Chain A
Amino acid sequence: MNKNARVAILIIFTSLLVFNIFGIQRFPKPEFESGYSQPETQVPSPRGAIFEYLDLAVFIGCLSLISWLVIKKRSRKGVFWLSIFSLLYFGFYRKGCICPVGSLQNISMALFNPEYSLPITAIAFFVLPLGFTLFFGRTFCAGVCPLGAIQDIFAFRPVSLKSWVQSLLGLIPFIYLGLAVLFAATGTDFIVCRYDPFVGFFRHNASFMMFAIGGILLLISVFIARPYCRFLCPYGVLLNLVSRFSKKHLSIAPSKCISCRLCEDACPFGAIDKPTGAKNKEQSNVLVKRLILYCLITPLLMGVCGWTASKYHESFAKVNFKVRLANEIMLSAKTETAQPALEVTTFRASGKAVEKLYAEAARIVDRFYIGSWFLGGFIGLVFGLTLARFTLVQYRTEYTTNKGTCFSCARCVDYCPVKE
């Protein structure tokens, strides 16, 4: 860079500082020294658009770098340090917002509520990890997700879980995903953000319960690695599905596996599939019959689960503030002696018509009725497919990563003696 260019840059940056001179003190900051405590906020202060795009640029940079580190460099050390950076930047600096895990709710809300303006950054944060996963596996989980990174630090003594325990607990994220979509689509709540267990650590402002939940999950992380990612994360469900079709996924051995078994216990997430025995034709026939049976049962399961969930649609709807308020007003009208809740008092003071609230609540309950059918159907489908999955036996002759559950953390790579 020549001297003139450097001088020009210096002048530009110096002139930017001059803008402070035009800052005029208007009203002073409020002073809360009277014992008043500020209510806890769930969302950090909004940023300027330019900083949102900066976050997006950092996000894309991290995704690209982690994919390169995992697929090309096969560097566990690189993955680890990038995950530390992501924890500091997206976690502690950006206070966990916006994150792809929560962005699925923005997408759901936008799909079912046309009036909701979906920020382009939310779309990007939702789509980009899925796109990278489609090409390179779950590299986002490996080193860009701050929620995964904070748990990874605590994985001191990971133990293996039985596959049936993993499968059973692995159903929870599907139910969580279904509920998250239902509540977002009905404009009720962003429950993934509300119950984000680690965001309280990033923002230092969670309720006691959320601090406790975060603490418990970190304690569990010591023995069961990444419990939130494996058994709760709803976005992980989508990544799991997409990753199964990934074009270039991390492999344990860079070339031919020599089945030395050194990597057998290397994965703390139980995501290494062992070689299977020889194909048994007789057993195959039984399995095919069972698969057909499960395929027939699945629609039945969907119907039963859908019907069951629809029976609880009012309970789901009560999570919605307007429905709860309408319910509370109806109850307080019947029991005049009871001290009405603050929300009821506030609504009455607003002068709004209670009939309008009831009508709106009824509309929301109707939406929950339809949504509950879909939720139940989705859960039934997951149950059915999980049962069907047990009938599918993949024949393997070498140790491979499970494309769905593997977080591409590259731990196993270090155990493999095959280096080229």
Chain B
Amino acid sequence: MKQKVIIGFAVLLLLSVVFLISRDLFNSSFKSDENPTEYNIDNLKKIDSALICYKEIMQFDPGMEQVYGISVSENNSIFISGNRQVAIFNSNGTKTKTFTTDSSAHCLITDNNSIYLGIGNHIEHYNLAGEKISSWKAYSENGFITSVAVNKEIVYVADAESKRILKYNTKGELLLEIGQKDTSKGIEGFIIPSPYFEVTFGAYNDLWVVNPGKHRIENYSLSGEHQSSWGVASMQLEGFAGCCNPAHLAVLPTGEFVTYEKGLDRIKIYDPTGKFICVVAGPGSFKGESDFHCTQATLVNDLATDLNGNIYVLDAYNLVRVYAKK
């Protein structure tokens, strides 16, 4: 009797297995609920307000059709490159000068006496009156200059196409290439998956280069030797997210770094050792993504700082936003 019950129970269980499989096979239908495989990053866009240590103190419209690069001089003049023109503003955002260029400059830097423009594959040097001093020979025919840094007699240029940092003198003579891959010396080169490749000088005239594919900020001696680096790949606030970040880099007079990450659109502050300190502006601080129809896939086109520690953000909607420490 007991055995019959056991067999009956076991057979019933077996038939229930067959039923479950049949039902799942023939009755599966599409569901109109949430996408189970959606890569939802909404949580990463939420930033604790206590971590935001800067506030926006000013914004102005430079009145240009398209803006690409920004630089601030020691006397707080703001230089902005746009569609075949460069405009100069005073610290209140009032335009003081405009001059035209042959092509659009995607980046620029001022040494207080002149302006270096990264135009396509080469550098053009202008004085503050808007007169062209020189046009340098392109390193590579297909080159694309994304960043320029100047320090007295030396100009460093980041070429995203050749993945090199090029060292020039102010006459445009090429002195050195940094980043050439050399496996025998363990030099891996820069990994630049997209045209975001930054170079800048630190507070102590040390050279810093963004290696976006590795999510690292690398320090080089002026003779091009790699000395140190910092930065980790992480979706968390402390790290750099996505395939290749940060997209833009600036340095405060105190030596702290200002970084902008495309994708999550975070502007953050790191101390000189690379330790995360706080956030300048997080996702949502700029115009929403849904109505973002610019040709560039970022909300911030460039960053700059002044001697007072203010941060200048050139956003993709042709606005200059100035942030000061709270």
Which residues of A pack against B, CB within 8 Å?
A: 22, 24-28, 30-36, 39, 159, 161, 165, 169, 172, 191, 195, 197, 209, 212-213, 216-217, 219-220, 223-224, 227, 231-232, 315, 318-319, 324-325, 328, 338-344
Contacts and interface: CB of A to CB of B under 8 A. Distances in A.
Given A27-B213, A28-B215, A341 B26 contact: no
Given A28-B215, A31-B233, A34-B43, A220 B10 contact: yes
Contacts of A191: 25
A35 B46 CA distance: 13
B319 interface: no
Nearest to A35: B43
B26 A159 contact: no
Given A34-B42, A36-B41, 11 more contacts: A26-B213, A34-B44, A36-B40, A169-B11, A195-B24, A209-B24, A223-B10, A318-B26, A328-B29, A341-B31, A342-B34
A216 B17 contact: yes
**Among B10, B28, B35, B215, which residue has the most Cβ atoms of chain A within 10 A?**
B10
B53 interface: no
30 contacts: A22-B183, A27-B213, A27-B243, A30-B235, A32-B235, A33-B236, A34-B40, A34-B44, A35-B40, A36-B39, A159-B3, A165-B7, A191-B25, A195-B25, A209-B20, A213-B17, A216-B17, A217-B14, A220-B10, A223-B6, A223-B7, A224-B7, A224-B10, A224-B11, A224-B14, A227-B14, A231-B14, A232-B18, A328-B30, A342-B33
B21 interface: yes
Given A39-B36, A318-B26, A341-B32, A28 B233 contact: yes
B13 A219 contact: yes
B7 A169 contact: no
Given A36-B39, A209-B20, A26 B191 contact: yes
Contacts of B29: 324, 328
B193 to A, nearest CB: 8
Contacts of A342: 30-35
B233 A339 contact: no
B30 A324 contact: yes
A223 B28 CA distance: 32
Nearest to A30: B235
The size bracket of the interface on B is 35 or more
B25 A31 contact: no
Nearest to A343: B30
A231 B14 CA distance: 9
A216 B19 CA distance: 13
A333 to B, nearest CB: 14
B234 interface: yes
Contacts of A315: 26
A258 B24 CA distance: 51
Report the 6 A-B pairs with minimum CB-CB distance, sorted nearest first: A341-B30, A28-B233, A339-B32, A39-B37, A34-B43, A341-B32
Contacts of B36: 39
Interface string B50-89: 0000000000000000000000000000000000000000
A191 B25 CA distance: 8
A27 B34 CA distance: 29
Interface of B: 3, 6-7, 10-11, 13-14, 16-18, 20-21, 24-26, 28-37, 39-44, 183, 188, 191, 213-215, 233-236, 243
A331 B24 CA distance: 21
A34 B233 contact: no
Contacts of B213: 26-27
A209 B20 CA distance: 8
Contacts of A341: 30-32
Given A34-B43, A213-B20, A159 B32 contact: no
Nearest to B24: A209
Contacts of A219: 13
B21 A195 contact: yes
B30 A31 contact: no
A232 B14 CA distance: 9
A34 B264 CA distance: 13
B14 A340 contact: no
Contacts of A231: 14
A224 B9 CA distance: 10
Contacts of B26: 315, 318-319
A32, A318, A325 — most chain B CB neighbours (10 Å): A318
B30 A169 contact: no
A169 B39 CA distance: 45
B17 A217 contact: yes
Contacts of A212: 20
A213 B17 CA distance: 6
Contacts of A24: 188
A33 B232 CA distance: 15
B30 A216 contact: no
Contacts of B20: 209, 212-213
Contacts of A338: 32
Contacts of B41: 34, 36
A350 to B, nearest CB: 15
A217 B18 CA distance: 11
Contact of B14 (A26, A39, A169, A324): A169
A31 B14 contact: no
A31 B235 contact: yes
Contacts of B31: 341-342
Nearest to A318: B26
Contacts of B32: 338-342
A159 B14 contact: no
Contact of B6 (A36, A159, A227): A159
A36 B200 CA distance: 36
B21 to A, nearest CB: 5
Contact of B11 (A22, A27, A165): A165
Nearest to A39: B37
Nearest to A325: B30
A227 B236 CA distance: 49
Nearest to A339: B32
Contacts of A27: 213, 233, 243
Nearest to B232: A28
A340 B17 CA distance: 32
Nearest to A213: B17
Given A165-B11, A220-B14, A224-B10, A33 B235 contact: yes
A227 B13 CA distance: 10
Nearest to B188: A24
